[in-house]
Amino acid sequence: MTYIQLAACFLAAAVVTALVLSLLARRRGSGPHLGAIALTVVVLFILTAVFDTIMIGTGLFHYSGQHLLDIHIGLAPIEDFAYPLAGALLLPSLWAALRARRSARRHTPTDATEDDT
pLDDT tens for 24-77 read: 888 877 778 888 889 989 999 999 999 999 999 999 988 888 888 989 999 999
CA distance 64 to 83: 18
Residue 78: name the closest of 1, 13, 8 by CA: 8
Instruction: State residue 80's pLDDT score.
Output: 92
In a domain, 110, yes or no: no
In a domain, 55, yes or no: yes
Contact 56, 80 (CB under 8 A): no
Mean pLDDT of 7-17: 94
User: Residue 19's domain spans which residues?
Assistant: 3-104
Instruction: State residue 25's pLDDT score.
Output: 86
Indicate the number of domains in the chain: 1
In a domain, 113, yes or no: no
CA distance 67 to 7: 12
Banded pLDDT at 110 (limits 50, 70, 90): low
Write the single-letter amino acid at 83. Answer: Y
Residue 2: name the closest of 78, 84, 75 by CA: 78
List, in sequence order, every residue forming a beta bridge with 73; answer none if it has no partner.
Answer: 76
Contact 77, 3 (CB under 8 A): yes
Taking all residues of the chain, what is their mean pLDDT, rounded to a whole number? 87
CA distance 117 to 58: 78
In a domain, 42, yes or no: yes
CA distance 24 to 73: 36
In a domain, 111, yes or no: no
On the CB side of 95, CA atoms within 13 Å amount to 10
pLDDT value at 82 more than 80 = yes
In a domain, 9, yes or no: yes
